[in-house]
């Protein structure tokens, strides 16, 4: 028996530096002019039924045939502002640089039009750079959007530091626990989940600090070299 797990590298300066950078960002005070937003994305397999499921009855769970039809794949983008208790989720057919760039444009022009800067925490996927903006928009617009971003990348093998990934796990449990075979239907379900969670203003109170990391995760730090 085995379990797949994201194992961070031991005694790695790059990991420690990126981890402490993100932890410091999470402990900034709430500032509407410079909101801290986390983003992540996940692939999603659209699946349909070969046979209609049997509905639940007293004493018997709903039953689905173990055979299914693949209806393509898509990517779910998740944006979270932990201190405000806000999130936006959206499924797109692909996850290219241009897709990410248009998501960022929406973030800056629709979600946060009045923010001077959006502090963006995300992993270092090759599409998650301001260069993607230049593939989607003319140089003037790409530059203007990029100037409103302050980007912080989580370390490699440090996905647990991304609050948006935690939100995606909650979304998967609460909304994606059944087969969905159509992108439009999926986005309808995502919108309902988004509205419900935002109406509750469920904030994320992150407690783990750099001081905690230096004690509890000491093995992730390199040995200090002295001259």
Instruction: For the domain made up of 13-47+65-199, give the CATH fold.
Output: Nucleotidyltransferase; domain 5 (3.30.420)
Residue ranges per domain, the chain?
A: 13-47+65-199
Kindly report the CA angle at 165 between 180 and 95, in degrees rounded to 5?
A: 60
Helix (H, G, I), strand (E, B) or coil at 44: strand
What does the pLDDT profile of the chain (227 residues) look like in tens digits? 656 556 677 779 999 999 999 999 999 999 999 999 999 999 999 977 666 766 777 877 766 666 667 779 999 999 999 999 999 999 999 999 999 999 999 999 999 999 999 999 999 999 999 999 999 999 999 999 999 999 999 999 999 999 999 999 999 999 898 888 889 999 999 999 999 999 987 888 899 999 999 999 999 999 877 76
Looking at residue 204, what DSSP letter applies?
Answer: -
Which residues are within 8 A (CB) of 199 and not within 5 positions of it... i.e. 6 or more apart? none
Which residues are within 8 A (CB) of 127 and not within 5 positions of it... i.e. 6 or more apart? 95, 96, 97, 99, 100
C-alpha 64/C-alpha 118 separation (Å) is 44
């Amino acid at each position: 028996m085995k379990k797949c797990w994201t194992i961070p590298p031991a005694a790695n300066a790059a990991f420690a530096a990126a981890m402490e950078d993100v932890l410091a960002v999470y402990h900034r005070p709430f500032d509407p002019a410079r909101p801290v937003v986390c983003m992540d994305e996940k692939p999603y397999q659209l699946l349909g039924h070969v046979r209609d499921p049997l509905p639940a009855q007293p004493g018997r769970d709903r039953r689905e045939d173990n055979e299914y039809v693949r209806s393509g794949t898509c990517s779910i983008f998740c944006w979270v502002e932990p201190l405000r208790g806000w999130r936006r989720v959206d499924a797109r057919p692909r996850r290219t640089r241009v897709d990410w760039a248009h998501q960022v444009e929406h973030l800056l022009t629709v979600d946060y039009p009045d923010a001077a800067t959006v502090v963006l925490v995300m992993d270092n996927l090759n599409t998650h750079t301001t260069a993607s903006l230049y593939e989607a928009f003319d140089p003037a617009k790409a530059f203007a959007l990029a100037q409103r971003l302050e980007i912080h990348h989580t370390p490699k093998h440090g996905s647990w530091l991304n609050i948006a990934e935690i939100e995606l796990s909650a979304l998967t449990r609460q909304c994606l626990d059944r087969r969905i075979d159509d992108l439009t239907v999926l986005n309808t379900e995502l919108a309902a989940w988004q509205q419900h969670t935002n109406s509750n203003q469920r904030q994320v109170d992150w407690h783990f600090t750099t001081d905690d990391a230096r004690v509890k995760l000491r093995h992730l730090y390199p040995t200090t070299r002295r001259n």
